[in-house]
Chains A and B, each alone.
Chain A
């Protein structure tokens, strides 16, 4: 009898252990939290729109700059000369246009003279006072003068178009001159500044990284098994590895991640990794978390640091 009671006690404790263990394991693996989260920020890779020597660098490493601040100045001399050149081109084109106008007036006068000559000869010819050949000549002269007038009018059109072209080139040269001043597109922090005064900046080449100070957020990499219990707008508790704790809300959940098992192989064939079906690893999907705007020490956050993220809503419901 005593032996049966002993067996019963042991089996009861084992059963309790199984049940409790199951609940604890479910809780541990399914509750929406992750140790794999990162503080992130938008980084603007700044480059110059025009090439040239960097004449002056107005920022230091890790300095805060406001939107529109001058960061660096590319040597403007060459671009100032280009503007001068373009201005002279406009003047040249305008002078050519004046010449065309004068030519039109001259050919108009000539046409008028030839036409009156022709009229006079017409009456002379009716009295048989001039030869047919001379009459024909005056006729031709009128036609030539008309053609000249038309040609000069076309030239005026060309000269006007040239003035517009020269003005467009001037505007572009002025824009280039203006773009020798590289200004901050966003407010933020200059980081890892490797560019030095005297470096040559080429068009489109990366010069410095600007961390947008208003763009900090946390990206939590949650296992796919935990995603069903995370919803947009859920409150979130974030704890940095250095200990600071603050709150946030789930802003959005990524809709796609790379399929690591299917890298394109040779000859456009699928390249599926042969995997061991006993062990399956859950993929991790980034969840974007907005940091509580009231968090006071926001400017002490560093993009790239590690955080632990716990989604709170679901735990309250249970």
Chain B
């Protein structure tokens, strides 16, 4: 696991870093899916997007864990 990320004296744990890091990736992904029109083939858009964010977060956490040592 990578170490703390400091913002003005607050030391964020790695999981908060992962959640923050996943946010732009998820937004980019959502934007491109919308442009490609994939979202039109999706049932329950909010549920899909939530699940997508969880997927991105999990991948980021696993990648961070695997790459740090």
Question: Which of A7, A24, A237, A312 lies in contact with B43, CB distance below 8 A?
Answer: A7
Q: Which residues of B contact A (CB under 8 A)?
A: 1, 3-4, 11, 13-15, 41-44, 47-48, 50-52, 54-55, 57-59, 61-62, 65-66, 68-69
CB distance from B4 to the nearest CB of A (A): 7
Are A17's CB and B52's CB within 8 A?
Answer: yes
A273-314 vs B, CB cutoff 8 Å, 1 = contact: the mask equals 000000000000000000000000000000000001010100
- Complex: chain B residue closest to A32, CB-CB: B1
Can you list 14 A-B contacts (CB < 8 A)? A9-B43, A10-B47, A14-B47, A17-B52, A20-B58, A23-B58, A27-B65, A28-B15, A28-B61, A33-B1, A241-B4, A241-B11, A312-B69, A316-B69
Are A10's CB and B48's CB within 8 A?
Answer: yes
Are A35's CB and B4's CB within 8 A?
Answer: yes
- Complex: chain A residue closest to B45, CB-CB: A10
Count of chain A residues near B, Cβ 8 A: 29
Q: Could you tell me which residues of chain A, from 214 to 249, have a CB within 8 Å of some CB in chain B?
A: 237, 239, 241
Q: Hey, which chain B residues are within 8 Å of A315, CB to CB? A: 65-66, 69
A128 to B15, CA, bound (A): 127
Q: A13-B52, A20-B58, A27-B62 are in contact. List 5 more A-B contacts (CB 8 A).
A: A17-B50, A21-B55, A21-B58, A27-B61, A28-B61
Query: Is there a chain B Cβ closer than 8 Å to A2's Cβ?
Result: yes
